[in-house]
Structure 1
């Protein structure tokens, strides 16, 4: 695997991992994570694709955006990064906050996106859920980082899940707090920013989540998939928020099916 850095506007560095050759496949991780959070997908899919996993601003080795940046600024950053790759339209996949970014790029810059995949994404939260994430964002901006609560929410007690949890905990404890706070605030406020734009997404759209994810719910996944012109919802049973790490084989199969899908093929709207 090769580590690379691109310089975007304002001399802002973007760090990413690259492996494989072929059609480009770009992964954007969630808040508090880093490019390595896609390790099961990098390992599997780089056999057939040029896999690019990028550190989100303020995470890993990528420079931060301004402290007040909202979701549109993260989307603009991602579009600039894709343009800088000079690889033509890409297959774009995101997890959690990364899924909001990926969907935003698909809505605002469809010329850059061949296919879009949204893993454990959020869509039109309830007022109660929105208040909860806004509260966590406020705590982060005040300098308080709670690692244990998300770990309990994301993983169950099974051995395989706890192995993944150890890696996730290490990433959460090493993340830059300011970058984390900026991204989480954008995440907390961004669930409706591009929600209406799902009706304009014409490329193949995979929307995947775990059946036991209380925040990125199966209902949200189905609503996004139904709104897109060529959307497919996949709900993986007995899984939570970090499904790409805890059920990698099933996620990789879903991603491979999405990567083979062309808009003229028959559409299957949902799969449980």
Structure 2
């Protein structure tokens, strides 16, 4: 499939692709991407749902968030609060990678706005080496020049060429350098939801990742699901980090059933 730029609606400083009618679904992409990364999910879910795929602050057509104290950049709560503000009623919130971190934070701190949460390729309690690697990558970003996306693309896709890889390369090369740095620093500084937050998560929670995912590992998803009272984990064979794009048909079926089960 192709990932062409789609028209946006605006809500304050944020832009979003909005399609369909029915139960509310909110999609939040990961660092360096944009709402089009969810194209396959928007097309599939909008047949039965009102779907909003938001451009994360500082990405796509959304404005950056304000700096924190002493120019420290926004924190996780800043991203979560900016995105939850576009919801006029409770929604099923689905996030990928950093978007999953935001989605879980939203479900924890704004439970009245979250009917259920699906965390795709979510991190949880990184090991020492993984923490060092992601923090080193964050520290290498200067917020002025666009980072060479090659190493990122190799982590996500390996060395093989594909339409999915080409689409992500384009987005990573076009992203606002400062917006990318801000988001990546938050992603690197956090270790996913706390165990306490997961235990307090009383809405249905799906934790989905790829069997070949080295960073947001299957073990992470299983441990989070075990802690959440209504949690469950699903692991896609042969999939890695960009499974919403590379394994769209399987992901769409899983998400459709998740949303249908909530409505029963």
TM-score (norm 1): 0.89
Separation of aligned partners in 2, 1:129 and 1:226 = 22
Q: CA RMSD in A?
A: 1.7
C-alpha deviation, 1:139, in angstroms: 0.8
Q: Does 1:80 align with 2:69?
A: no
Name the residue aligned to 2:97. Answer: 96
Name the residue aligned to 2:133. Answer: 132
Separation of aligned partners in 1, 2:183 and 2:234 = 26
Aligned residues of 1:91 and 1:116 also touching (Cα < 8 A): yes
Name the residue aligned to 2:74. Answer: 69
Aligned residues of 1:151 and 1:169 also touching (Cα < 8 A): yes
C-alpha deviation, 1:157, in angstroms: 5.3
Name the residue aligned to 2:70. Answer: none
TM-score (norm 2): 0.91
Separation of aligned partners in 1, 2:114 and 2:180 = 26
Separation of aligned partners in 1, 2:111 and 2:163 = 37
Q: Does 1:113 align with 2:114?
A: yes
Name the residue aligned to 1:186. Answer: 186
Residues 132 and 158 (structure 1 numbering): CA distance in 2 closer, same or farther, change over 3 Å?
closer
C-alpha deviation, 1:65, in angstroms: 1.0
Name the residue aligned to 1:215. Answer: 215
Instruction: List alignment gaps of at least 5 residues for structure 2.
Output: 1-5, 68-72
Residues 177 and 240 (structure 1 numbering): CA distance in 2 closer, same or farther, change over 3 Å?
same
Separation of aligned partners in 2, 1:155 and 1:137 = 20
Q: Report how many residues are paired.
A: 253
Name the residue aligned to 2:239. Answer: 239
Residues 77 and 117 (structure 1 numbering): CA distance in 2 closer, same or farther, change over 3 Å?
same
Instruction: List alignment gaps of at least 5 residues for structure 1.
Output: 8-12, 266-272
Name the residue aligned to 1:226. Answer: 226
Aligned residues of 1:71 and 1:193 also touching (Cα < 8 A): no
Secondary structure of 1:130's counterpart equals helix
CA offsets 1:84-116 (integer angstroms, 9 cap, x no match): xx2x21010000000000000000111000010
Secondary structure of 2:8's counterpart equals strand
